[in-house]
Amino acid sequence: MDLSKYIRDIPDFPIQGIIFKDITPLLSDTDAFQETINRIIKNYNFDEIDVIAGVESRGFLLAAPIADRMKKPLVLFRKSGKLPYKTKSASYDLEYGSSTIEIHEDSIKTKDRILLIDDLIATGGTLSACLDLVDQFNAKVSGIAVIIELSFLNGRDMLKNVDIFSLIKY
């Protein structure tokens, strides 16, 4: 199945000059969504993963069914101010600004092996901040899985030493 057929380009969103890769058509098609989840699951040995982590917000949509099917805890990396309990945080730059990401301070244990899941790698800033947060726990990111990688932005370069699985590359 060609999953790229389910990605819609939205010009000038969220700001002028950005072409947003919209995954909602993929999520709306039950076959394409199942195929996405199945491909990610087939790429990993879940005996070597302790935690599934979804990155706000579209990463949650992929991480939750994977965590459920693989019987692994689900951890959420959220934008600043969204989590109700004590948090650890890391700041990062986006291709169109900057932000901070947080995680509950009791979400990850020392030496946990984590699969980070997001919808897209652009500049790598968000996922790099997630790596920094995981380091604060003395845990390890075993892999990063995304639907889309914008290769021309070289985000992979910020995520050296981590296995990256992307379903679609632009």
Q: Which of 56, 58, 69, 156 is catalytic?
A: 58
Q: Environment class of residue 36 by beta-carbon count within 10 Å: exposed (0-12), middle (13-18) or buried (19+)? A: buried
Q: Please choose, from the candidates 81, 80, 84, 82, the residue with its C-alpha nearest in 3D space to the C-alpha of residue 98.
A: 80
Rounded to 5°, angle at Cα 21 from 27 and 162: 90
Return the sign of the alpha-carbon dihedral for residues 75, 164, 150, 123: positive
| Beta strands in 23-162, from DSSP E residues, in sequence order | 51-55, 74-79, 87-94, 97-104, 113-121, 140-149
Q: Which residue in 48, 95, 105, 156 is the catalytic one?
A: 95
Contact status, residue 43 vs residue 66, Cβ threshold 8 Å: no
Structure tokens at 99: 């932000």
Catalytic residue at 8? no
To the query of whether residue 39 is one of the catalytic residues in this protein, the response is no
Q: Which residues are catalytic?
A: 58, 95
